A and B are shown apart, each in its own frame.
Chain A
């Protein structure tokens, strides 16, 4: 995604850094391969088992027959002998061999040529060359033919014969070959199926990701100069509407900060223009002809006052820049609200007394705040209040706790602020009444500074005002 920072992409070198399409295709193909392999493997296993079982049953049947007729006294013995002779001819495909041995190893009945292909000893499992009962094994001859060998013992008969041994064998080479061919065919089919599923996965993934590519294209069209463009959330599949909406909201915020930033730059230029204009003008006029030392002094003094204003402006702007960039570290301590307010009220006491303004404090709560920033915030608000309070009035400062949060209300009995100005009061350089405020010498940053101090503390500032009744500024600090 295009807004993902390079850092994250560099960090995630695993699968999660692949494109979503690749991830989808790979995962889809992998799961298809696993499922297909399991299925074909299972089918092959069933087939192989069935064939083996059939062979086993065939040989078992033969052994049973041989066992029951292996007695020469049995009326069917000669018939069996013949059958064994010519049965070979009947089984062209599955060559089957049978042999009956007497207890001392003499061959009683045998399929022709059997001895040369399958010697007696290969059926044996015991060291003494004797046959063990009910034995099945697989065997490969020197010319590569596969056999299943089975042998069994026949209990001594009533006719006085000793124990007999029966040996049967089945050539399963052709079955093995069929299985092998089947296995190869399955592999080929499996390979093709996996390739197809990969292709299908790629197609589906690409189709699925298409809206993302489109939304990216839309987003790319948005630049600083075209911030009013939006992604239009309703156009997209439901999964993307949330993203699109969040993105649009981010754009709203960006647009308004951009607007404020632009306004701020313009205001800053304006703010600098006036004092610098004064400085240039005054200096130029002073230099335009020879003057007395007293006059030069006058000009320099006046300039110094302008410089001080500029210096104050720079200090305040730096303060705001530091808090904006979160570069200022809070050193919070628990303060007695009343003590701090008393100190600040004392500072403003003479100023207020000049115009017979009383500052009254009510309540006491402890506040967790950075002492110097807290003093600065209160000081800025109180100095505003004194500026706008009429002569012979009272400024009330009330502290209380509500739901664990600390409230400090500073109320003056001034002319109030028209409602339409209130939301803009925290904007930098915003002045309700331009001519008046400049004359009072503020930098127009006082409330912005209070606001950023409150932001740093995770608190709030609200202003409410009633025309002709006064203004209340409320600072709300989060719970201790």
Chain B
């Protein structure tokens, strides 16, 4: 999967490039709007990360240009600008997502993966999911580990399902809040930590190998280590 970053601030470019490469993406960088359009047309990347304030042509112009030229790859806007009207404008012009600085890299990553997944392989929700010795039947809402049935509450089950759909991906706290409780702001509480702790106490604690791991300062990840 290839990503084009259109951003003029060198430090931002540097960490985005590094982080995205390590997450397994092919990364290209354009330093201004014109170069961005040129590279997007030439290489047709799978996704575009577009800063709003750019030299030569700003983000609005870039996306308008691309959409008019029938380039429909997902675009994520990054901006330090006032979010309220800009967010609406960005989405109207055809952006798929919008992140306001400062944002967590893990959140950007999660959103990129969601967008790319939405475009390619639709996740098959209804097959039994399996990691190591953990097995989940999403239809009958049953969970087994090491052959034992585990009883989970509704929210705990949803949380486990969310983890299983993003195996190996770090899920930031606000993404968990958004997906599980449909709250679109950060309430600044440790509800997520409590929920994960309860899930762990049932899914992980009685067993030898641990599946849910804390990534300090970021969130949680479910993977076999």
A155 contact set on B, CB distance < 8 A? none
Query: Across the interface, do A348 and B191 meet the contact criterion of CB distance under 8 Å?
Result: yes
CB 8 Å contact bits of A370-399 with B (1 = contact, 0 = none): 001001100110010000000000000000
Bound Cα distance A304, B187 (Å): 18
CA–CA, A110 and B216, complex, Å: 137
Top 5 nearest A-B pairs by Cβ distance?
A304-B217, A301-B216, A311-B102, A347-B181, A305-B217
Interface on A for B, CB 8 Å cutoff? 301-305, 307-308, 310-312, 314-315, 318, 322, 327-329, 343, 346-351, 354, 372, 375-376, 379-380, 383, 441-443, 446
- A307-B102, A322-B82, A350-B198 in contact; A372/B188 too (CB < 8 A)? no
Contact across chains for A312 and B188 when beta carbons are under 8 A apart: yes
Contacts of A376 in B (CB 8 A): 185, 187
Complex: how many Å from CA A111 to CA B100?
115
Known: A305-B216, A322-B82, A375-B183. A347 touches B102 (CB 8 A): no
For A322, the chain B residues whose CB sits under 8 A away are 82, 84
CA–CA, A302 and B217, complex, Å: 7
Flag if B187 contacts A380 (CB, 8 Å). Answer: yes
Chain A residues lying within 8 Å of B216, measured Cβ to Cβ, are: 301-302, 304-305
Contact of A312 among B85, B186, B218 (CB under 8 A): B186
The smallest C-beta distance from A299 to any residue of chain B, in angstroms, reads 11
Q: Are B187 and A354 in contact (CB under 8 A)?
A: no
Interface pair A350/B84, CB less than 8 Å apart: no
Provide the residues of chain A in CB contact with B218, threshold 8 Å.
304
| Chain B residue with Cβ nearest A442 | B188
Q: Is B189 interfacial (CB-CB < 8 Å)?
A: yes
Residues of A within 8 Å of B183, CB to CB, are 347, 375, 379
A314-B102, A376-B185 as given contacts; A351 in contact with B191, CB under 8 Å: yes
Residues B188 and A350 in contact, CB atoms below 8 Å apart: no
Most B-side CB within 10 Å, residue of A346, A347, A372, A443: A347
For chain B, the count of residues having a C-beta within 8 Å of the partner chain is: 27
| A354 & B194 in contact (Cβ 8 Å cutoff) | yes
Interchain pairs with CB closer than 8 A, number: 72
User: Which of A301, A303, A305, A315 interacts with B186 by CB under 8 Å?
Assistant: A315
Asked if B104 and A327 sit within 8 Å, CB to CB, the answer is no
- B91 contact set on A, CB distance < 8 A: none
Q: Which residues on B sit within 8 Å (CB–CB) of A311?
A: 102-104
Can you list 13 pairs linking A and B with CB atoms under 8 Å apart? A303-B217, A308-B217, A315-B186, A327-B84, A346-B181, A347-B191, A351-B189, A376-B185, A379-B185, A383-B188, A441-B188, A441-B190, A442-B188
Min distance, Cβ A183 to any Cβ of chain B, angstroms = 73
* Shortest Cβ distance from A375 into B: residue: B183
In the assembled complex, B155 has its CB within 8 A of some CB on chain A: yes
Query: Does the CB pair B102–A383 fall under 8 Å?
Result: no
A343 to B177, CA, bound (A): 12
Assess the B187–A350 pair: CB atoms within 8 A. Answer: no
For B85, give the chain A residue with the smallest CB separation. A327
Q: Which residue on A lies nearest to B181, using beta carbons?
A: A347
- A380–B187 Cα distance when bound, in Å, is 7
Chain A residue numbers with a CB within 8 Å of B11 are: none
Q: Can you list, as one digit per residue, whether each of B148-169 has a CB less than 8 Å from chain A (1) or not (0)?
A: 0000000100000000000000
- Across the interface, name the chain B residue whose C-beta is closest to A329: B84
Q: Taking CB as reference atom, which chain B residue is nearest A303?
A: B217
Whether, in the assembled complex, B122 has its beta carbon less than 8 Å from a beta carbon of chain A, the answer is no
Is B182 an interface residue when CB atoms closer than 8 A count as contact?
Answer: yes
- Nearest chain-A residue to B188 (Cβ)? A312
Residues on the A chain within 8 Å of B198, using CB: 350
Residues of A contacting B83 in the complex (Cβ-Cβ under 8 angstroms): 318
Q: Closest CB-CB distance, A472 to chain B, in whole Å?
A: 21
State the CA gap A354–B197 with chains docked (Å): 11
Bound complex: CA A330 to CA B181 (Å)? 22
Is there an interface contact between B185 and A443, defined as CB atoms closer than 8 Å?
A: no
Residues of A within 8 A of B85 (CB): 327
Contact between B185 and A372, CB atoms less than 8 A apart:
yes
CA gap between A324 and B26 in the complex, in Å: 43
Among A305, A327, A343, A348, point to the contact of B189 (Cβ < 8 A).
A348
Are A351 and B194 in contact, with the CB atoms below 8 A?
Answer: yes
Complex alpha-carbon distance, A315 and B100, angstroms? 9
Give the chain B neighbours of A346 by CB distance below 8 A.
155, 181
Q: A346-B181, A443-B188 are in contact. List 6 more A-B contacts (CB 8 A).
A: A301-B216, A311-B103, A346-B155, A350-B195, A350-B198, A441-B190
